[in-house]
């Protein structure tokens, strides 16, 4: 499908309105694939805070490039595996806004500015059964929609109960 095979896990940190859209802050306490930042030339490493990593270590950090993504989060409910699946766009924000958001969280960690498709903040948090989500980039919206459907079919085949969230073409 032309998908970037690199995926990563992000913490769902927080979000707020920015120019009329609710923009989430997704971060991860570690590293992201360089391709998620647009390459190694757009990535950097910072020492991890000793509060989280007493023995040290570094990140592969940066700001996630704009693009279409498929997100998922797997959780256990009533003794069964479930997965929420949806679509979003990683977007660019001005450098000052990115810095403000990083300073309000953990500036060492990779950050993604994400706008969920068809899922409000309250809807997303009402189903918040996992504080991490997995993201995968797609080259365009049509491919992302196909990838989401394929991922849903795979999870269903594996016996995982699938929950499609937001604007998901069938």
pLDDT, tens digit (0-9, with 9 covering 90-100), for 114-158? 999 999 999 999 887 888 999 999 999 999 999 999 999 999 999
Q: What is the pLDDT of residue 151?
A: 95
Angle at 122 between CA 149 and CA 168, to 5 degrees: 15
Residue with tokens 């993504």: 69
Give the percent of the chain with pLDDT over 90.
71
CA dihedral 133, 87, 164, 118 (to 10 degrees): 110
- Domain chopping of the chain, boundaries: 7-164
What is the assigned CATH class of domain 7-164?
A: alpha beta
């Amino acid at each position: 499908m032309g998908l970037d095979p690199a995926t990563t896990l992000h913490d769902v940190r927080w979000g707020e309105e920015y120019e009329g859209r609710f923009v989430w802050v997704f971060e991860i306490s570690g590293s992201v694939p360089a391709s998620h930042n647009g390459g190694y030339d757009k990535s950097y490493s910072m020492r991890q805070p000793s509060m989280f990593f007493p023995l040290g270590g570094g990140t592969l950090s940066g700001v996630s490039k704009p693009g279409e993504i498929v997100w998922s989060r797997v959780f256990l409910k009533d003794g069964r595996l479930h997965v929420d699946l949806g679509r979003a766009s990683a977007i660019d924000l001005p450098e000052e806004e990115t810095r403000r958001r990083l300073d309000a969280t953990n500036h060492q960690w990779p950050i993604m500015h994400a706008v969920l498709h068809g899922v409000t903040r309250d809807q997303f948090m009402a189903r918040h059964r996992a504080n991490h989500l997995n993201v995968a980039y797609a080259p365009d919206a049509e491919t992302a929609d196909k990838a989401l459907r394929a991922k849903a079919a795979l999870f269903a085949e594996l016996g995982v109960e699938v929950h499609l969230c937001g604007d998901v073409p069938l």
